[in-house]
């Protein structure tokens, strides 16, 4: 069962930094224990549950990287042409009939094993065939166009490490090692719910004071990209008892519960008080914009995060806080993505001590592209996400951005992965 430890993540009244929250999550969340064996064809994006040791070497034998002629480089004259007798023909999937002798060459094809004694391959377009002989030029280095056993990976080496979220190239390596299935951790189950008397499901009829719920679909898509199975908890009214019942039910079904809305300090914002009553509130005030406040803690041993109701704030806090939380629960070796250098095409001021993520679009300028700030800052402006390319990260020490300043940029596709 995915659980938080009994140690509190609370930071008291202090405004917690994003790095503090991430470090606490990594230290105090216990990954799910269940391991599943899945077909390698279905292993993409799953979290590897144990190290994979290479059972064989790749390549398993010395072979040719090209179509051509295998030779012993010692037989080739250092200047001028060399005439060699063709005594073998080796195709992929077959073996040479006999070792390569002095003054001999073997016709060979890509992937075919090198005949014993051969160490170099001339590409077919670089030679001249004269009956039963091949004429090769001088100047080729020993081992050219040859692939030797174990040069990719040797038997006994760690091929893939525990905690890896398997990428296409990782499952390719596993398959090349002859592995038909892989041990992975089971998928996390996330329960999602929205709060608010004004929030309505898409497709329903809203009155003058209603608005359609964008957050659950937004968060469901982000959760699925992170490898979670999603339980839709629906929309819960701003009523303490209804909220308590919905959150308790969600915690009984899922590994992690995510809500949006109701985490501020207004009279109709009940999430903080409800969590303190039915579970444990570990932190509430995080120095992040857009996003503060974020209510987080535990309900019946299950991780809970209450995100802001504004869609942009929900997006930012999910990618920056919930995503590393999911990694810790899933046993994933996760690191914050590397920022790409861009130059600001805007001026901006912010408070010290608060991490801010600014929506930007990139220009085509080279070698360092310009980042143009979206014209609207509002945390409820969804088009500021759809019309931008990503976020620039302004850390707690920055108080001012000037045009030309070098900033770290994160494409949406990178922070959503």
Domain boundary residue, one of 134, 167, 185: 185
Neighbours of 109 (CB within 10 A): 17
CATH of the domain at 85: 2.170.190.11
Q: Distance between CA atoms of 94 and 70, rounded to whole angstroms? A: 15
Range of the domain at 179: 38-58+151-185
Taking alpha carbons only, the member of 52, 22, 24, 25 closest to residue 37 is 52
In this structure, the answer to whether residues 379 and 325 fall within a common structural domain is: no
Neighbours of 317 (CB within 10 A): 29
Q: Quote the tokens at residue 316.
A: 């930012």
The pLDDT of residue 4 is 47
Assess if residue 335 is contained within a domain: no
Residue 89, pLDDT score? 96
Contact assessment for residue 128 and residue 83, using Cβ atoms and an 8 Å cutoff: no
Q: How far is CA 221 from CA 191, 203, 307, 362, 382, in A?
A: 13, 18, 15, 24, 15
* Domain count for the chain: 4
Same domain, 169 and 278: no
Same domain, 140 and 71: yes
Residue that terminates a domain, selected from 298, 330, 362: 330
Query: Do 276 and 351 share a domain, yes or no?
Result: no
Is the pTM higher than 0.75? The answer reads yes
Q: Is residue 121 part of a domain?
A: yes
Nearest to 250 by CA among 231, 269, 273: 231
Q: What is the pLDDT of residue 269?
A: 61
User: Is 282 a domain residue?
Assistant: yes
Encoded tokens for 391: 């976020």
Cα three-residue angle 312-316-321, rounded to 5 degrees: 145
- Do 167 and 215 lie in one domain? The reply is no
Reported as half-sphere exposure (CB side, CA atoms, 13 A), residue 86 has a value of 17
pLDDT value for 13: 55
CA distance 382 to 412: 14
Quick one: 196 and 107 in the same domain? no
- CATH code of the domain in which 392 resides: 2.40.340.10
**Is residue 191 within 8 Å of 256, Cβ to Cβ?**
yes
Q: Which residues of 142-168 are buried (b: 16+ CB within 10 A; e: fewer)?
A: eebbbbebbebbeeeeebbebbbbbee
Question: Of 312, 330, 348, which one is at a domain's C-terminal end?
Answer: 330
Nearest to 233 by CA among 251, 218, 221: 251
Residue whose entry in the numeric block shows the structure tokens 């920022």: 339
Q: How far apart (Å, rounded) are the C-alpha atoms in residues 54 and 75? A: 36
Question: Which residue, 160, 214, 190, 161, is CA-closest to 323?
Answer: 190
Same domain, 179 and 47: yes
The series of mean pLDDT values per 10 residues for the chain, 417 residues long, is 41 73 86 96 97 97 98 97 97 94 97 97 97 97 97 97 97 98 98 91 82 94 96 92 94 96 65 88 86 87 92 95 95 92 96 94 88 92 96 96 96 94
Find residue 192's DSSP bridge partners: 232, 258
Q: Is residue 202 located within the same domain as residue 321?
A: yes
- What does the alpha-carbon distance between residue 254 and residue 365 come to, in Å, rounded to a whole number? 46
Phi first, then psi, for residue 135 (nearest 5°) are -105, 120
Which CATH number do you get for residue 155? 3.90.105.10
Q: pLDDT (tens digit, 9 = 90+) per residue, 390-412? A: 999 999 999 999 999 999 999 99
What whole-number distance in Å separates Cα of residue 361 and Cα of residue 355? 19
d(CA 195, CA 192): 10
């Amino acid at each position: 069962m995915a659980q938080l430890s009994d140690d509190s993540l609370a930071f008291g009244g202090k405004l917690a930094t994003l790095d503090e929250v991430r470090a606490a999550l990594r230290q105090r969340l216990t990954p799910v224990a269940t391991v599943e064996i899945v077909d390698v064809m279905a292993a993409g994006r799953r979290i590897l549950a144990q190290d994979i040791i290479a059972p064989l070497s790749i390549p398993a034998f010395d072979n040719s990287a090209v179509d051509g002629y295998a030779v012993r480089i010692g037989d080739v004259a250092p200047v001028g042409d060399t005439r060699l007798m063709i005594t073998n023909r080796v195709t992929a999937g077959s073996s040479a009939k006999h070792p390569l002798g002095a003054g001999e060459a073997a016709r060979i094809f890509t992937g075919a094993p090198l005949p014993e004694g051969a160490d170099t391959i001339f590409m077919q377009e670089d030679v001249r065939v004269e009956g039963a002989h091949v004429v090769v030029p001088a100047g080729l280095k020993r081992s050219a166009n040859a692939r030797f056993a174990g040069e990719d990976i040797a038997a006994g080496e760690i091929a893939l490490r525990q905690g890896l979220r398997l990428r296409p190239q990782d499952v390719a390596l596993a398959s090349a090692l002859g592995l038909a299935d892989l041990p992975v951790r089971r998928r996390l189950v996330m329960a999602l719910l929205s709060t608010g008397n004004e929030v309505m499901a898409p497709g329903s009829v809203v009155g003058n004071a209603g608005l359609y719920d964008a957050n659950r679909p937004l968060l469901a898509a982000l959760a699925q990209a992170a490898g979670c199975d999603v339980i839709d908890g629906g929309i819960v009214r701003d009523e303490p008892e209804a909220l308590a019942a919905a959150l308790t039910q969600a915690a009984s079904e899922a590994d992690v519960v995510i809500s949006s809305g109701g985490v501020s300090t207004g009279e109709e914002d009940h999430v903080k008080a409800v969590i303190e009553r039915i579970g444990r509130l570990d932190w509430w005030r995080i120095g992040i914009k857009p996003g503060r406040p974020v209510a987080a803690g535990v309900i019946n041993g299950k991780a809970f995060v209450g995100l802001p109701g504004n869609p942009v704030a929900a997006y930012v806090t999910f990618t920056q806080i919930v995503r590393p939380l999911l990694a810790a629960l899933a046993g994933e070796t996760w690191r914050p993505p590397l920022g790409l250098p861009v130059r600001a095409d805007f001026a901006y001021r912010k408070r010290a001590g608060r991490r801010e993520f600014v929506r930007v679009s990139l220009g085509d300028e080279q070698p360092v592209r310009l980042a143009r700030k979206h014209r609207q800052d509002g945390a409820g402006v969804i088009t500021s996400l759809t019309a931008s390319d990503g976020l620039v990260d302004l850390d707690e020490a920055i108080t001012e951005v000037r045009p030309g300043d070098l900033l770290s940029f994160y494409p949406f596709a990178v922070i959503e992965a």
